[in-house]
Chains A and B, each alone.
Chain A
């Protein structure tokens, strides 16, 4: 099975900061990677697929990059409504697996 490792597990940043966190796959997954956002007490929301394509309606301050085994999600200017846990997930092969998440808090 492909393991997805996210780092850091949590981070604290100020409003307006550029925030970047990473996701690493245990083997190459091409660009078959998605990112999800889950706000506290809410349903997960799909943000990005194919490593870098934004889902419809997702603000342009979110961007994704990477291929192979190393991926990043960047928020160019952190907003209060971005407080959430972010998960990465591969869809290269079965079983699909999801990383442990990065929790983003406001400093």
Chain B
């Protein structure tokens, strides 16, 4: 059974930093792209960023709203995904979900599994 367990959320002051983790199990983690998606309280879903697999040099993509402040990384030996968040703003307050992506027949990657989410609150 595919499981994604997000952790690391909490209360942080504006300008502060936080590192989220996602522990994966039940599948070959190294074969998949992984993403972070967030949801502000009472709002819709927003894609945060993606990290590709080793065969694609672990390259990353980010939403404009977080580029330069957030960094996605992974440790395939631990089947773990990370989101390092710097210079946090109040508008970064959200539940953060890690998601697994799988490839379609044309090499585009779609989300198929979601973690339970971890709440990040940025407030003074």
- What is the interface of chain A, defined by CB distance below 8 A to chain B? 1, 32, 34, 36, 38, 43-46, 49-50, 55, 85, 87, 89, 91-92, 94-101
Contacts and interface: CB of A to CB of B under 8 A. Distances in A.
Nearest to A6: B44
A94 B44 contact: no
Given A43-B114, A46-B114, A97-B47, 10 more contacts: A36-B111, A44-B97, A44-B114, A87-B44, A89-B47, A94-B61, A95-B62, A96-B50, A98-B37, A98-B45
Contacts of A38: 45
A50 B50 CA distance: 19
Contact of B63 (A32, A34, A85, A95): A95
Nearest 9 Cβ contacts at the A-B interface = A49-B110, A96-B47, A94-B61, A98-B45, A34-B110, A101-B44, A32-B108, A46-B112, A100-B44
Contacts of B113: 46
Interface in B47-103: 47, 50, 61-64, 97
Which of the listed residues B37, B111, B112, B117 has the most CB atoms from chain A within 10 Å of its own CB? B111
Nearest to B116: A43
A68 to B, nearest CB: 15
Contacts of B46: 98
A56 to B, nearest CB: 9
A91 B104 CA distance: 11
Given A43-B116, A43-B117, A44-B97, A98 B47 contact: yes
A32 B107 CA distance: 10
Contacts of B108: 32, 91-92
Contacts of A91: 108-111
Given A36-B45, A91-B109, A50 B104 contact: yes
Contacts of A32: 104, 108, 110
A39 to B, nearest CB: 12
Given A43-B97, A49-B104, A98 B44 contact: yes
Contacts of A44: 37, 45, 97, 114
